[in-house]
Chains A and B, each alone.
Chain A
Amino acid sequence: MPTVTVDGVEIEVPQGATVLQACELAGKEIPRFCYHERLSIAGNCRMCLVEVSPGPPKPQASCALPAADKQVIRTDSEMVKKAREGVMEFLLINHPLDCPICDQGGECDLQDQAMAYGRGATRYHEAKRAVTEKTMGPLIKTVMTRCIHCTRCVRFSEEIAGVDEIGALYRGENMQITTYLERAAKHEMSANVIDLCPVGALTSRPYAFEARPWELKKTLGIDVSDACGANIRIDARGREVLRVLPRVNDDVNEEWLSDKARYQVDGLTRRRLDRPFIRRDGRLVPASWEEAFAAIAAIAPGASVAAVAGDLVDCETMFAAKALVHALGSRLLEGRQTGLAYDCANLAAVNFNSGFAGIETADAILIVGSHIRREAPLLNVRIRKAVKRGAKVFVIGPEWETTYPAQFLGADVGLLGDLPLPVGDALRAAKRPALILGGAALGKGALAPALALCAQFNLVRSLEDGTAWNGFNVLHMAASRMGGLMLGYAQPGGIGDIVAAKPRLLLALGADEVDFTKFAGSTVVYLGHHGDKGAHAADIVLPGAAYTEKTGTFVNTEGRVQFAERAVYPPGDAREDWTVLRAIADALKVGVGFDSYDDLRAAMIAAVPALGREGLADYGALPSGGGAGPHNGERVIAGYPIDDFYLTNPIARASPTMQRCSAELLHGQDFAEAAE
């Protein structure tokens, strides 16, 4: 490990570290624009200049210079100060002075660094360069005159997203960052370039001119748009959530966020249920809470009650509903709305055991029935990383456009029992073989044969370095899935059991994907936040809180327990879900054992201790054995569960931004740009 001296302080740095990283380890701030930890090194902004000896007697770009033993680095010398001032002056030559009307203002790297390292005045009095705006789709707003050519966006789309669509055309002063023929960026992670852009060249189009960063209240939350549980920061002003940004968590989302997670939030103010509704003469009419509870009491369901949890609900809501259902004497709980009925006796068998950070290190991956790009864009990024490290990827299922080389084997899950020779060889030869089972495969009964593969290829093993490797993974799509399974929201026969039980009262907790026509005999009470499919089918609608409006626990598909905080309050008469469930208990004259949120959490943690500890839940060992797959004919995957990436949940369906993305990016509809 090299030892370097930074500003007179001697420190040891890891082998292969750059001078910039060495300076950071020594606690020195190095200004930079093009350098980013998760992207390749470009070295083109020149802002990170430092003085290094031995070396040429001139400032060196620290981001691209390897730290070597006995190097003496100065970040505080006159030469460095002058160099930074000079670079900043050059960068500002063509940068417009439009900070007052720029959305990046207040959170702009260029602004901050010009204040900290610039010389405070310009000596340039010539004409500035102007660049035409580029179209990058409905999410990314461009003001290319502000671009300083750091190429972070180009490197992101090439290296992380795996979709080469942004490039730098022309050269020198005429260089322009653009998408090919100014077509919209078409991948699920495209908006991350907004965070990466150190200036105001790429900003958020839906958030344009909405707020200044210092006006926003920042709350730490968990994303619910898929089962990855990305860590987010919810920025709200007053009662409205204005935007969502990713938080850094290397175990989950690194620092990326899918476009849906980022932009579905404008659906939080639209199509909201802000008062109770009761169906009278076939129509839902507004009602008061008293009337609603009276109507529920009038059902007098006895023990004939069931609860179905939707995809976005938190564990507390599910536990409160479970307590209510149990208090009434029923055990009918289900979360798999669309009819999946895989075996949940052992949760390790339906968990993403490798972890997202672990799958990066896999060297052979067999994906069964999962359109990863649509079902978990963040995981797709990880798999791409694994492939760049040399992993081989095989897919069973209909073909989709991967962002890495992958071999499609066919759509028949029966292949699991009879893998083609090269696939078997690759899995056998791999040190860290992994299998990812998606929703489409679970729907075709592939869980048992996949578990059989687990033993065949020894997917669970201890590695040479003594760590354990578990390559058996199930990828869910609902944020509530793992939490629901931990809380017992699973019938042996799936939702079919609930249909067969013909409950008098069906409690739908934000459940919008259920086929309610099968519950014709039941009174459906919908507790949720959006007037979507579930509310339309309900007899009594109770307004609840969306994920930004309640404190809650979420468990992602890895079994990672994470807590989210409340950012804003629910609109109108809507209340947090657990309070509504508590009130229903009163209306039905049963006791559920909690009167406050703290009581509820305590009761939940007493029942399922893992939900009280942040981090990966321990589900024990995988079941041994497995079994044969389903019979011929029922095992060919016809399609994936997610057709339209942008419209998978009620919030996204209510969001004009997501609707526009769906229309424009997936269905090729043209939108005329409003004249500006």
Chain B
Amino acid sequence: MADRHLEPDTQELRARWGGFAFTPEWEAKARAEIAKYPDGRQRSAVMALLDIAQRQVGEETATQGWLPIPVMEYVARYLDMPVIRVVEVASFYTMYNLVPVGRFHVQVCRTTPCWLRGSDDILKACKAKGMKKGEVSADGLWTLTEVECMGNCASAPMFQINDDNYEDLTAESAARILDELAAGGTPKTGTQLSGRHTVETLGGPTNLTAMVDANHDYRGEW
């Protein structure tokens, strides 16, 4: 987070992205987002439109996508709002990438629950694939970011790659997922433990056990 910054506004950047415009498919999505708000309140859709723009950039560059300055200016024009307000939003939320990223943006959770459950190993597994924190790998495939809590503490440790979460990781399963992704596969998302459905307690419920089969009135027992 601390090293978040805007990609410098260079002539090359302008040359590459100055002509950015929504393609018809993405434009339809943008229109749908704007239509959610009353007339004249179109700028409420700025977060959605930034996301749409980032995804279109991702499509064009075969990466997760990011937001070059000319693209943010395009969004500002599209919504008829000052550019600085768009940049404020884009720079506030970490899900908008302000600098180019790789095909897969690997965000490893490093907050306490994940760390206690072995996120150090996950990070090592990622680094073993040639990733370096905050950088795009030489093959353009990976960008590694350390992030704070992603809300998957019950299935820690985890990482998020582009739009998907991979939970209950071990060094081996993490390496397997990365290999599969690199090979063009679609690994199973969510928990990687066999036999676990989502984040239910492993080994059966430990409290409210009487509720498992039928509704049970605990009130008399309190």
Tell whether, in the assembled complex, residue A167 and residue B4 are in contact, meaning their CB atoms are under 8 Å apart: no
Query: For A158, A173, A181, which residue has the most chain B Cβ atoms within 10 angstroms?
Result: A181
Contact of A169 among B2, B69, B82, B87 (CB under 8 A): B87
- Chain A, interface residues (CB within 8 Å), range: 10 to 19
Please provide the chain A residues from 160 to 185 with a CB less than 8 Å away from any CB of chain B in the complex. 164-174, 179-181
Q: Give Cα A174–Cα B84 distance, bound, in whole angstroms.
A: 17
Name the 8 nearest CB pairs between A and B, nearest first.
A164-B82, A167-B84, A180-B84, A169-B91, A167-B88, A171-B92, A170-B91, A180-B83
Tell whether, in the assembled complex, residue A168 and residue B69 are in contact, meaning their CB atoms are under 8 Å apart: no
Tell whether, in the assembled complex, residue A181 and residue B69 are in contact, meaning their CB atoms are under 8 Å apart: yes
Q: Mark B69-95, 1 if CB is under 8 A from A, else 0.
A: 100000000000011110110011000
Q: Give Cα A174–Cα B92 distance, bound, in whole angstroms.
A: 10
Which residues of chain A are within 8 angstroms of B82 by Cβ–Cβ distance? 158, 164-165, 180
Give min CB distance, A135 to chain B, whole Å: 13
Which residues of chain A are within 8 angstroms of B88 by Cβ–Cβ distance? 167-169
Supposing A170-B91, A170-B92, A181-B9 touch, asked if A165 and B4 sit within 8 A by C-beta, the answer is no
Give min CB distance, B17 to chain A, whole Å: 14
Tell whether, in the assembled complex, residue B4 and residue A164 are in contact, meaning their CB atoms are under 8 Å apart: no
Give min CB distance, B40 to chain A, whole Å: 11
Tell whether, in the assembled complex, residue A167 and residue B1 are in contact, meaning their CB atoms are under 8 Å apart: no
Q: Give Cα A166–Cα B84 distance, bound, in whole angstroms.
A: 7
Supposing A170-B4, A181-B69 touch, asked if A165 and B92 sit within 8 A by C-beta, the answer is no
Which residues of chain A are within 8 angstroms of B9 by Cβ–Cβ distance? 181
Which residues of chain A are within 8 angstroms of B6 by Cβ–Cβ distance? 169
Tell whether, in the assembled complex, residue B92 and residue A167 are in contact, meaning their CB atoms are under 8 Å apart: no
Kindly list 16 other residue pairs between chains A and B, CB separation below 8 angstroms, not including A174-B2, A180-B87: A164-B84, A165-B82, A166-B84, A167-B84, A167-B85, A168-B88, A169-B88, A169-B91, A169-B92, A170-B91, A171-B91, A171-B92, A172-B1, A174-B4, A179-B84, A181-B9
Q: Give Cα A165–Cα B85 distance, bound, in whole angstroms.
A: 9
Which residues of chain B are within 8 angstroms of A172 by Cβ–Cβ distance? 1
Q: At the interface, is chain A mostly helix, strand, loop or mixed?
A: mixed
Which residues of chain A are within 8 angstroms of B91 by Cβ–Cβ distance? 169-171
Please provide the chain B residues from 99 to 151 with a CB less than 8 Å away from any CB of chain A in the complex. none
Q: In the complex, which residue of chain A has the Cβ closest to the Cβ of B92?
A: A171
How many residues of chain B get a CB closer than 8 Å to chain A's CBs?
14
Q: Give Cα A345–Cα B135 distance, bound, in whole angstroms.
A: 76
Residues of B that sit less than 8 Å from A by CB: 1-2, 4, 6, 9, 69, 82-85, 87-88, 91-92
Tell whether, in the assembled complex, residue B2 and residue A165 are in contact, meaning their CB atoms are under 8 Å apart: no
Query: For A168, A170, A174, which residue has the most chain B Cβ atoms within 10 angstroms?
Result: A170
Q: Give Cα A166–Cα B4 distance, bound, in whole angstroms.
A: 19
Q: Could you write out 12 A-B pairs with CB less than 8 Å apart? A: A164-B85, A165-B84, A167-B87, A169-B87, A169-B88, A170-B92, A173-B2, A174-B1, A180-B82, A180-B83, A180-B87, A181-B9
Query: For A166, A172, A179, A180, which residue has the most chain B Cβ atoms within 10 angstroms?
Result: A180
Q: Give Cα A169–Cα B91 distance, bound, in whole angstroms.
A: 6
Please provide the chain A residues from 167 to 220 with a CB less than 8 Å away from any CB of chain B in the complex. 167-174, 179-181
Q: In the complex, which residue of chain A has the Cβ closest to the Cβ of B2?
A: A174
Which residues of chain A are within 8 angstroms of B92 by Cβ–Cβ distance? 169-171
Give min CB distance, A582 to chain B, whole Å: 56
Give min CB distance, A611 to chain B, whole Å: 45
Please provide the chain A residues from 286 to 331 with a CB less than 8 Å away from any CB of chain B in the complex. none
Q: Mark A150-165, 1 if CB is under 8 A from B, else 0.
A: 0000000010000011
Q: In the complex, which residue of chain B has the Cβ closest to the Cβ of A165?
A: B84
Q: In the complex, which residue of chain B has the Cβ closest to the Cβ of A180?
A: B84
Give min CB distance, A160 to chain B, whole Å: 15
Give min CB distance, B181 to chain A, whole Å: 30
Please provide the chain A residues from 29 to 63 with a CB less than 8 Å away from any CB of chain B in the complex. none
Give min CB distance, A374 to chain B, whole Å: 22
Give min CB distance, A129 to chain B, whole Å: 10
Which residues of chain B are within 8 angstroms of A180 by Cβ–Cβ distance? 82-84, 87
Q: Give Cα A164–Cα B85 distance, bound, in whole angstroms.
A: 8
Which residues of chain B are within 8 angstroms of A167 by Cβ–Cβ distance? 84-85, 87-88
Which residues of chain B are within 8 angstroms of A158 by Cβ–Cβ distance? 82
Give min CB distance, A460 to chain B, whole Å: 34
Q: In the complex, which residue of chain B has the Cβ closest to the Cβ of A172?
A: B1
Which residues of chain B are within 8 angstroms of A166 by Cβ–Cβ distance? 84
Which residues of chain B are within 8 angstroms of A165 by Cβ–Cβ distance? 82, 84
Q: Give Cα A166–Cα B87 distance, bound, in whole angstroms.
A: 11
Q: Give Cα A169–Cα B5 distance, bound, in whole angstroms.
A: 9
